[in-house]
């Protein structure tokens, strides 16, 4: 360190005088000290006040300049030196050096700027202010075709500099995107795929930029999909594959890029990874299997990419994914069930899948998980069944296959995601299926659980679905026995509350179910109607100008239906229903105005 102090003193003197030889030997001494113990040497350099002298040494004409830039790059490896480098005014002269034609000057300058920008707000702001990123981006563009090793080294440093400049900073990343950096980097990946360091730097850059929504459009206009798939096919190492996966995942969120990736052959690569890792015990096998199968499911979220892989149900990819469901591996079972749920996004696919026996595979999977109890697999399999049950022609086939019975086995689940999907599946199954609605609606255990979930205030989704299923059981069965079961189970008050929902569809479903209760079992429901203030709820719905025509119509039907009960009739008389109803006679909707006339007659006749 004594040599270092001596060198620093000499350098202080020499920087005012420009005897190049003595400066050069001092700089060599500094570099040697930094190589030995970077932190200690950096502190010494800062203590002795050398930083403010460095700008004058960054002279484009001087042969010492690369060494000075190298020293700055070494100093800025230390976090505590980055702000002092900015304060010492090093950024403007470094940016000036980017206009040099000397390769070594450019290399060391790129390193210095990159290190100063690393995790440093001050460094990035200073480079931004001096317009450094634009110059570096232009260099990368003009050097991109040159595959000489020295040039590739420089390109790697410049790409690294841009990454350190923009990492985790949305506005600086957006700036790079606007400069057109993405097409340039994609070209680099194609031309220099043999160079590991440069390839990795491009991948890190893509990973950062792909997180930004505005980047996706630019990526989609390049051949990034082909380049990444080609690169992926060459890789044998786990780490390299993981790096590419990290870029693919955010890119595959874009539907245009999903299709490009499918067309570029990514799916075949993913299926190969799955085949290689499915029986692997190593942690990296487990990770790769999860990443590959998750990505596969993500590709199926795009309508075009999904339909391309479905190929009318005859696609080899679709067949391979089907084989995952009976697998012994939970991750593959999960991905298989999620993939089926994604394939089941249009009626044609759903009908084909039900006709080719997929339901049985899903039921067997669910049966395995009543005991094993993997919640994510339960959730995924129920999602697939729910989607498959949407086309009308599938409902009776799925009911005959015993779907409702298997789904009911999960009634005791305490997991809200499973509860939510279970409810949705049953609701889809009984839509227009009177017999099934009757059977389920008279199942006391089911109705009891629904009433319990109607109070699940912490889980709005479960609460909403329970209410909707309760209403659906009544609406589709139109059965006295079902209505009795719901009344006995304490479900009436929940349907009255549902009529005040902010969702019109739920309001309407509730009113139709309440109308059926009033028509089929008014006396038995009377007490619950009074307790839940049904009449005042109906008054509010009719008085509210925002209520949709069907809400007004069904509210009036219900008013007429409850008039047969003495206590409810009294409540109707005590509220000024006639005023509200007579106004509705002038309603623009003919069905509403006609019902208003009928209701008015009823109210007048019974007053």
Computed over every residue of the chain, the mean pLDDT equals: 92
Any idea of the CA torsion for 456, 459, 460, 461, to the nearest 10 degrees? -110
Query: Comparing C-alpha atoms, which of 541, 593, 535 is closest to residue 562?
Result: 535
CA distance 517 to 16: 98
pLDDT, one tens digit per residue, over 262-314 is 999 999 999 999 999 998 888 988 999 999 999 999 999 999 999 999 988 88
DSSP secondary structure string for all residues of 334-381: HHHHHHHHHHTTSHHHHHHHHHTTHHHHHHHHHHHHHHH--HHHHHHH
pLDDT, one tens digit per residue, over 411-443 is 999 999 999 999 999 999 999 999 999 999 999
The two three-digit tokens of residue 410, written as one number: 């999960």
Burial 136-152 (b: 16+ CB within 10 A, else e): bbebbbebbeeeeeebb
Q: What is the 3-state secondary structure (H, E, C) of 139-157?
A: HHHHHCCCCCHHHHHHHHH
- Residue 18's SS3 state is coil
Q: What percent of the chain has pLDDT over 90?
A: 82
pLDDT, one tens digit per residue, over 174-208 is 999 999 999 999 999 999 999 999 999 999 999 98
Stated pTM of the model: 0.82
Confidence of residue 13 (pLDDT cuts 50, 70, 90): low
Question: What pLDDT is stored for residue 520 in this prediction?
Answer: 96
Q: Do 248 and 228 touch, CB atoms closer than 8 A?
A: yes
Q: What percent of the chain has pLDDT over 70?
A: 97
pLDDT, one tens digit per residue, over 466-515 is 999 999 999 999 999 999 999 999 999 999 999 999 999 999 999 999 99
Confidence of residue 1 (pLDDT cuts 50, 70, 90): very low
Averaged over 230-241, what is the pLDDT? 89
Helix H or strand E segment including 44: helix 38-47
Crossing angle of the two packed helices 213-220 and 170-178, in degrees rounded to 10: 20
CA distance 34 to 24: 15
pLDDT over threshold 80, residue 9: no
Query: Comparing C-alpha atoms, which of 567, 477, 464 is closest to residue 517?
Result: 477
Determine how many CB atoms are found less than 10 A away from the CB of residue 14.
22
């Amino acid at each position: 360190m004594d040599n270092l102090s001596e060198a620093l003193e000499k350098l202080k003197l020499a920087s005012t005088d420009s005897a190049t030889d003595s400066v050069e030997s001092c700089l060599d001494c500094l570099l040697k000290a930094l190589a030995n113990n970077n932190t200690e040497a950096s502190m010494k350099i800062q203590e002795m006040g050398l930083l403010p002298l460095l700008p004058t040494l960054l002279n484009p004409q001087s042969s010492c300049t690369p060494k000075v830039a190298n020293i700055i790059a070494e100093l800025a490896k230390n976090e505590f030196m980055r702000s002092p480098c900015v304060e010492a005014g090093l950024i403007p002269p470094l940016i000036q050096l980017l206009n040099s034609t000397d390769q070594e000057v450019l290399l060391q300058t790129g390193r210095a700027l990159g290190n100063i920008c690393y995790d440093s707000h001050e460094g990035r702001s200073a480079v931004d202010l001096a317009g450094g990123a634009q110059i570096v981006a232009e260099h990368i563009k003009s050097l991109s075709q040159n595959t000489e090793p020295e040039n590739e080294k420089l390109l790697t440093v410049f790409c690294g500099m841009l990454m350190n400049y923009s990492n985790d900073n949305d506005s600086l990343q957006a700036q790079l995107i606007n400069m057109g950096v993405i097409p340039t980097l994609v070209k680099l990946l194609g031309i220099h795929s043999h160079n590991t360091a440069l390839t990795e730097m491009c991948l890190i850059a893509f990973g950062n930029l792909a997180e930004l929504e505005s980047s996706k459009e630019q990526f989609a206009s390049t051949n990034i999909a082909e380049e990444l798939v080609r690169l992926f096919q060459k890789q044998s190492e786990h780490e390299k594959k993981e790096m590419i996966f990290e870029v693919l995942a955010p890119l595959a969120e874009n539907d245009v890029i999903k299709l490009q990736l499918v067309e570029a052959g990514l799916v075949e690569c993913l299926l190969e990874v799955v085949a290689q890792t499915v029986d692997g015990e190593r942690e990296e096998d487990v990770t790769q299997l999860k990443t590959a199968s998750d990505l596969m499911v993500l590709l199926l979220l795009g309508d075009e990419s999904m339909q391309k892989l479905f190929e009318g149900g005859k696609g080899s990819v679709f067949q391979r994914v089907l084989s995952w469901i009976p697998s012994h591996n939970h991750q593959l079972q999960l991905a298989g069930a999620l993939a089926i749920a994604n394939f089941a996004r249009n009626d044609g696919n759903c009908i084909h899948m039900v006709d080719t026996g997929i339901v049985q595979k899903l039921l067997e999977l669910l049966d395995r998980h009543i005991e094993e109890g993997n919640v994510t697999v339960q959730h995924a399999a129920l999602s697939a069944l729910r989607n498959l049950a949407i086309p009308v022609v599938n409902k009776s086939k799925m009911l005959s296959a015993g779907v409702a019975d298997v789904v009911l086995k999960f009634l005791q689940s305490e997991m809200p995601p499973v509860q939510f999907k279970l409810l949705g599946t049953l609701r889809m199954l009984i839509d227009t299926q009177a017999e099934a609605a009757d059977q389920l609606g008279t199942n006391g255990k089911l109705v009891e659980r629904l009433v319990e979930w109607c109070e699940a205030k912490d889980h709005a989704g479960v609460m909403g679905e329970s209410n909707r299923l309760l209403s659906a059981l009544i609406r589709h069965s139109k059965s006295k026995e079902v209505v009795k079961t719901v009344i006995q189970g304490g479900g009436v008050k929940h349907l009255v509350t549902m009529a005040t929902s902010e969702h019109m569809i739920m309001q309407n479903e509730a009113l139709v179910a309440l109308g059926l209760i009033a028509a089929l079992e008014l006396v038995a429901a009377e007490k619950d109607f009074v307790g839940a203030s049904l009449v005042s709820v109906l008054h509010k719905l009719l008085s509210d100008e925002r209520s949709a025509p069907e809400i007004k119509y069904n509210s009036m039907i219900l008013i007429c239906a409850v008039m047969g009960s003495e206590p409810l009739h009294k409540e109707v008389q005590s509220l000024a229903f006639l005023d509200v109803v007579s106004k509705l006679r002038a309603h623009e909707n003919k069905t509403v105005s006609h019902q208003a006339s009928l209701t008015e007659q009823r109210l007048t006749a019974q007053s």
